[in-house]
A and B are shown apart, each in its own frame.
Chain A
Amino acid sequence: MPAVAETLETVQAASDGGYKWGFETDIAMEFAPKGLNEDIVRFISAKKNEPEWLLEWRLKAYRLWLTMEEPDWAAVNYPKIDYQDAYYYAAPTTKAAPKSLDEVDPELLRTYEKLGIPVREQERLQGIAVDMVFDSVSVATTFKERLHKEGIIFCSISEAVQEHPELVKQYLGSVVPPGDNYFACLNSAVFTDGSFVYIPKGVRCPMELSTYFRINAKSTGQFERTLIVADAGSHVSYLEGCTAPMRDENQMHAAVVELVLMDDATIKYSTVQNWYPGDAEGKGGIYNFVTKRAACRGARSKVSWTQVETGSAITWKYPSCMLLGDDSVGEFYSVAITNNHQQADTGTKMWHVGKNTKSTIVSKGISAGRGQNTYRGLVKISPKATGARNFTQCDSLLIGDQCGAHTVPYIENRCVSAKVEHEATTSRIAEDQLFYCRSRGLSQEEAVGLIVNGFCREVLKELPMEFAVEAQKLLAISLEGSVG
């Protein structure tokens, strides 16, 4: 992937220099009528040939959503969203579900190749199984056979509803119930696709699993739902990437990700979020309202969230860990960059319930241009979580005097033997560091890139290698034009 990405970058760098994923694919699409009502929910459900229980579940969520209010506590500003002014279903037209990649529309495959996503199973070198989600639906999943041998289920969630209804029924909404929050509730009503992963007992997933999300169509919202269940003693590393075309309008992405971990299970979940951030004037870009949560139900289970958030006009995202099993571990590593007019309000929730549960939070926020960057996190320790331990570190870097960096941690402790530590710093790039780099012949931008990469190192080193390379490049691109 890095090689492809690099080539692309070289080609594109000359032309626009900025967001190189901003192209649009011209492909035959099928839309639901614009707007949102019960009929749309029924339409989506019928389109996906869903069982009755799931339709009921969606309708219940939709009715609940109507009674809820959009949250306003995050430090982000955006004009009121007209939920009736969007398509809630947009899919490339296909005759029947493709049996293999050969049946997938070549235009689609070209899109993913252009994005640097290895879609052909021949590209074995990459060793990553990919589920590709294009607007509302999953278009292809690679390496299914290989994974099937191990008993691993990796498919789109629509497929899982058909093939493994018992698993979906058992776990869907069990971590993020429909009424959890406004955006998760909306997602529960209208989600169209996403990935489903089940790792059986004792299995170590032989390759990294990956989903690549692409918003393509105009005036659509993307509402995907990812569900990963790691049974006892299993292990999986999951990657997630996303891009969208450059447009003047704001598009909404409201996803829900649920992770379930049994005894001794481990999930490593890595995200490189690179939705279109809008232009330098703050026009366009994706509203990224995402609910991600892991339930560590088993003892000694471990979940690790790593995210690099460079895109989106607005990011509203708090990947969380419910540490229910004794000795379970939650980690959150985050880099969030806001440049130009981007706004990010992101962080995590660590909810300690089991004994001797541990959590680590490392958050690095970088603000440039007129960007506003907020870390918002909660560490909650219940009375029974004896011996619980948390360490939190939030660092903010300011580049320029028009941006803002904010830190809002919440600590709620009801356990006498718990230990919680939090530290936060805010500063700018030190003149002496810059001078040091400049005097060794680096340009101003290279020097800033180097220093920023150093600032983020603790987080970047948590990423799988392929992602780390891409993330470093993204950091540099995101900050282009912010110095000098």
Chain B
Amino acid sequence: MNAMTPGGFSARFAGLRDHLPGGRTPWVAALRGAAAEHFAATGLPHRKLEAWRYTDLSPIAQAQFTEALTLAAEHPVLPPMRAPHRAVFVDGRFAAGLSTLPAWCRTLAGDLNAAEGWLGALARDLPVVSLNTMLFEDGLMLDLPAGTDGGALELLSLASHTGRAIAFHPRHLIRLSEGASLTLIETSLGPDGASYLHNPVFEIQVASGATLSHVRIQREGRAGFQLATVLAAVEGGGTYDNFTLNAGARLVRNEIHTALLGPKAACHMNGAQLAGDGQHADTTTYLDHAAPDCASRQTYKTVLAGKSRGVFQGKILVRQVAQRTDGYQMNQALLLSEDAEIDAKPQLEIYADDVKCSHGATVGALDEAQLFYLRARGIPAETARAMLVQAFLTEAIEGVTHPLAQAALAEATEGWWEREAA
């Protein structure tokens, strides 16, 4: 059997379909059934597909992941709670005892019928999303009422030490009504020794005038896999900001699809990828300008050490109606090792004429002159390198303004170079 055939996952679904949440609810069963059919036809994406030419998922296909059967009693040490509210998921299931939810948050499994017409509304025919739809067990269901300032909410995903190769596919539904605002700080953590697959899908709706700042800090264990898909739709005058830090996992694919659907919608997508020995970090963004007068800004930075591979693919689509679009994208990569590889594919597809769109890409090593400058002032080589790496990341990170998010980020990036160099 071909390693990329749907085999394992489809077989799991066949056995579990009646037992999954909503298994006997017609609309959920129909949704899962359609997703299963799609996934059975496509299998996991393979490298012959243009969107996956740089990321090879065969290690996931070979791992034969199964579901976590019980809610793990043991979990890695919980990081201290920063925000007033926190939703904790262990192996993709809600851990009520560890969480404090605000009134506008529920869990998907807890009130699945409330998600009818909402769940899957933004999903498209992506194999990884279909895999999630087919097998999701739980997720956050966040519905922030109009005009509400939700402050900051932490979303924490933990992988436990089960001793088996487990996969979990949380589905998070996030909706901000008119004029609402929220900072969502999402962290995923896992033990270094465990092989697991975290396959979250976010469906995000930002209504007009609403602002969502979504900070994702990916620190999965070094043997873990993360395939994350963010599907966001922004109405007129709304703003969606996404910042993603990829620091962990053996292989991560961070795929973001944002559609700007109303006039004057805005989107900022920034990110940093830090990959060390044995890691593969892929950020792929699709930005769909489907309304006039929208603006988008993207800045992505990748730092590669050891034998690692970094991938950035970013497509900006400007539809014919999207006149007066202002689109900008920059991706830069820093190579610190002879064994590292970077692949970049920025892409513009433009059908409107009154636009201002540009992208830039650079790839290079640390600047020897800068290094020399610092060393000449008595700074040890390793410290100087760490400083320059930190400085390189600044432009992408400085878009994160919420102090709690800044603190979480600082903690995740600090000392990275020292650890990788060691």
Contacts and interface: CB of A to CB of B under 8 A. Distances in A.
Interface of A: 73, 383, 396, 398-428
Given A408-B345, A411-B345, A418 B364 contact: yes
Contacts of B350: 396, 398, 404-406, 426
A426 B345 contact: no
B336 interface: yes
B361 A422 contact: yes
Given A383-B338, A413-B342, A416-B338, A403 B359 contact: no
Given A405-B350, A426-B358, 15 more contacts: A73-B50, A398-B352, A404-B351, A406-B347, A407-B348, A409-B361, A411-B342, A412-B343, A413-B333, A413-B342, A415-B335, A416-B337, A423-B359, A426-B350, A427-B357
B320 interface: yes
A406 B363 contact: no
A73 B50 CA distance: 9
A407 B364 contact: no
B199 interface: no
B365 interface: yes
A423 B349 CA distance: 15
Contacts of B359: 407, 422-424
Given A401-B353, A407-B348, A413-B335, A422 B358 contact: no
16 contacts: A396-B348, A398-B352, A401-B323, A401-B353, A403-B351, A411-B343, A411-B344, A412-B342, A415-B338, A416-B336, A418-B364, A422-B361, A424-B346, A424-B360, A427-B355, A427-B357
A278 B220 CA distance: 56
A142 B362 CA distance: 47
A405 B350 CA distance: 5
Nearest to A400: B353
A428 B355 contact: yes
Interface in B311-325: 320, 323
Interface in B141-200: none
Contacts of A401: 320, 323, 352-354
B355 A426 contact: yes
A97 B387 CA distance: 73
A400 B340 CA distance: 44
B362 A399 contact: no
B341 interface: yes
B356 interface: yes
Contacts of A425: 357-358
Contacts of B340: 414, 416
Given A408-B345, A409-B345, A420 B361 contact: yes
A428 B353 contact: yes
A426 B348 contact: yes
Nearest to B336: A416
Contacts of B348: 396, 405-407, 424, 426
B341 A412 contact: yes
B335 A416 contact: yes
A396 B343 CA distance: 23
Contact of A423 (B320, B355, B358): B358
A415 B337 CA distance: 9
Contact of A420 (B351, B357, B362): B362
B349 A422 contact: no
B194 to A, nearest CB: 30
Given A406-B347, A407-B347, A413 B357 contact: no
Nearest to A390: B363
A414 B345 CA distance: 15
A406 B315 CA distance: 10
Q: Which of A407, A409, A426 has the most CB of B within 10 A?
A: A426
A427 B348 CA distance: 12
Contacts of A411: 342-345, 361, 363
Contact of A422 (B323, B343, B346, B352): B346
A409 B362 CA distance: 12
Contacts of A407: 346-348, 359
A398 B356 CA distance: 11
A104 to B, nearest CB: 48
Contacts of B320: 401-402
Contacts of B342: 411-413
B349 A404 contact: yes
Q: Which of B350, B358, B360 has the most CB of A within 10 A?
A: B350
A412 B352 CA distance: 30
B362 A422 contact: yes
A412 B313 CA distance: 12
Contact of B353 (A398, A409, A410, A415): A398
Given A400-B353, A401-B353, A405-B350, A423 B363 contact: no
A413 B320 CA distance: 34
Q: Which of B341, B342, B353 has the most CB of A within 10 A?
A: B353
Contacts of B337: 416
5 smallest beta-carbon distances between A and B, as pairs: A398-B353, A420-B363, A422-B361, A411-B344, A407-B348
B357 A410 contact: no
A19 B336 CA distance: 54
Nearest to A401: B353
A86 B410 CA distance: 66
B353 A419 contact: no
B354 A428 contact: yes
Contacts of B346: 407, 409, 422, 424
A423 B329 CA distance: 10
Contacts of A406: 347-350
Contacts of A421: 360-363
A408 B353 CA distance: 18
A54 B216 CA distance: 61
A420 B341 CA distance: 13
Contacts of B365: 416-419
A383 to B, nearest CB: 7
Nearest to A422: B361
A37 to B, nearest CB: 31
Contacts of B347: 406-409
B292 to A, nearest CB: 11
B357 A426 contact: yes
Nearest to A414: B341
A415 B340 CA distance: 8
Contacts of A402: 320
Contacts of B323: 401
Contact of B341 (A403, A410, A413, A417): A413
A412 B346 CA distance: 12
A73 B343 CA distance: 19
A398 B340 CA distance: 38
Nearest to B327: A426
Contact of A403 (B336, B353, B354): B353
A471 to B, nearest CB: 24
Contacts of A404: 349-351
Contacts of B349: 404, 406
A411 B331 CA distance: 11
Contacts of A415: 335, 338
A40 B342 CA distance: 47
Contacts of A403: 351, 353
Nearest to B355: A426
A418 B364 CA distance: 6
A428 B355 CA distance: 7
A417 B352 CA distance: 39
Given A73-B50, A383-B338, A419 B361 contact: no
A419 B357 CA distance: 24
Nearest to A373: B350
A411 B354 CA distance: 28
A420 to B, nearest CB: 4
Nearest to B320: A401
Nearest to A376: B347
B338 A410 contact: no
Nearest to A421: B362
A427 B353 CA distance: 7
A412 B312 CA distance: 10
